[in-house]
Amino acid sequence: MKTPILVSALAAGAACAPTWPSHGKPEHGWPDHGWHGKGDGLSIQTSSGLVHGFVNSTAPAVRQFLGVPYAEPPVGSLRFAPPVRKSSAGSIDATSWAPSCMQQAGSGKTIYTEQVPQFLINGGQSEDCLYLNIWAPAVEACEQEKLPVFVYVPGGGFTSGGADSVYKIPDKWIQRAQSHIVVVMNYRVNVFGFPNAKALDNRNVGLLDQRMVVEWTRDNIAAFGGDPERITFWGQSAGGASTSLYAYAWASDPIITGSISDSGVAGVAGGGDIAQTNFTSLAGLVGCGNSASDDAEIACVRKVDAVTLEKTLSNYINAGVGPKLSFTPVPDGITVFSNYSDRAAKGLVAKIPAIIGSNANEGTGFVPFTPDGPGAAVLQNVTNNVIACPVAKEVVNRATHKIDPTYRYQYAGNFSNVSPLPWMGAYHSSELPLIFGTHYEFRGNSTEYEYEVSRFLEALWLSFARFPSVAPTAPLPAGGNFVWPDFDTSTDSLVRFANGNELVATSSDQVIDKACGLA
């Protein structure tokens, strides 16, 4: 149950000044959450409509706005099409989660299904899913300045994932810091987001969803107290690949001032269906085979019930039969490209600072679950092939072509309440509870060292967002500040976090890159 807390008013004209209905209270028919009178920042006019948020007892100094539409429902003729900006919907009750986008269902056991389900999505799923969520401090926090903004892209292999995931809710972080705003999005995944159909001009509409969220944030975040000129685009896994892709796709008009790519870069996101046959195969499975033309094929598939389409795709893939079908980003020359070294060499990438890194034991997140794990050698091989080496290639590419600055890291934390089995280590996603500040909420409280690591990472992320033109800094427990060095292949500039009992240290990139053939 949401417990309302009244947030005090701002001076007229301040950054967080809200917009209220003329009668000064929630409109007829809206639930009364206790925000009476002007000044609490819980009713905000946006391009989507008048958004009504809430605060609750677990984070009483955080204004929350859940399920805010940023695009028209991508249904009917808008299925597989680029997103259409949401027109004003009048009043919007932003007090509960919107459903996640249609998820491709897996059939195997993973550490996420068996040990750490807090990374998985909650609630239902729907084709009508293009919503974002905003967490902002109490209005007093933005009296002096507009606050830096993180726009976060959830991961999920481009086949699943969404905003409603308990390990990745930033309310406690914002409650404590009172210094930033976080926007977390849904975007279309699998065939709904990456149809790659012959009849379409835009094959990767899920990436266009992400761009629209950035544009919506630019146009509306000032009303929440945010600074539209300090937007950091941050994602993990497929989200990290997305933020990396974004810099190449919108090189001349990035809007964002910084990019953070956790465990994912542009090079991991290129699908192989160049012949564009997968969509036709799926069309045949749902009764749209042998269509008279490409246009007729897609028109037919647009009429198939969304649940039927998703179940058919999931069941076919889980059966393990051929030909294999996959719907993830494909090179289209618009949002995804075939050669990122060439684009960087030609300057076709946004000249913005980037944090890019990976975890020491990524492989744990990509192997079938067994209680004792597959062994260290297997995990290291998967870690290198799937994540660490593509990340290494991207940061070396940026360094080679002077796409500066790049701040590179490896996260190695192994904390028992986040990694309940010792062999899990710093698995894929395990840094997120430390950064979002949710690490202590499940499987027991955190150690003092774990809190230290969490607050150190948060401080660096916030420093990067607040001052994008200078190196991120964070205070050290023993005094002084750590200053993150710009990555350079000739210096010890790979920053390692939580390696054993060491909070932070710099190292040669060869710790990772030698195994990747980048020596």
The owner of tokens 């070294």 is: 341
Distances (CA, A) of 15 to 4, 59, 89, 138, 224: 23, 21, 24, 12, 8
Dihedral sign (CA 262, 239, 388, 339): negative
Comparing CA positions, the residue from 340, 312, 329 lying closest to residue 272 is 329
The reply to whether 28 belongs to the active site is: no
> What is the residue-wise DSSP string for 195-211?
---TT-S-S-HHHHHHH
The reply to whether 180 belongs to the active site is: no
The reply to whether 362 belongs to the active site is: yes
- Cβ count near 391 (within 10 Å): 31
Structure tokens at 498: 């939580």
Instruction: Decide: helix, strand or coil at residue 139.
Output: helix
Comparing CA positions, the residue from 363, 357, 335, 358 lying closest to residue 348 is 335
Structure tokens at 94: 């932003």
Pairing of β 354-359 and β 406-411: parallel
Instruction: Decide: helix, strand or coil at residue 504.
Output: strand
Name every residue whose Cβ is closer than 8 Å to that of residue 416 and which is 6 or more positions away in sequence: 422, 443, 444
Residue 425 in contact with residue 360, Cβ under 8 Å?
yes
CA distance 184 to 168: 9
User: Pick the catalytic residue: 48, 237, 446, 454?
Assistant: 237
Per-residue DSSP letter, 514 = G
User: Pick the catalytic residue: 127, 297, 362, 394?
Assistant: 362
CA distance 131 to 204: 18
Residue 404 in contact with residue 344, Cβ under 8 Å?
no
User: Pick the catalytic residue: 297, 428, 431, 458?
Assistant: 428
Residue 137 in contact with residue 15, Cβ under 8 Å?
no
Dihedral sign (CA 496, 259, 266, 314): positive
Comparing CA positions, the residue from 442, 451, 417, 383 lying closest to residue 165 is 442
Helix axes 278-285, 294-301, angle to 10 degrees: 50
Position 445, amino acid: N
Residue 69 in contact with residue 99, Cβ under 8 Å?
no
Position 344, amino acid: A
Residues with catalytic roles: 237, 362, 428
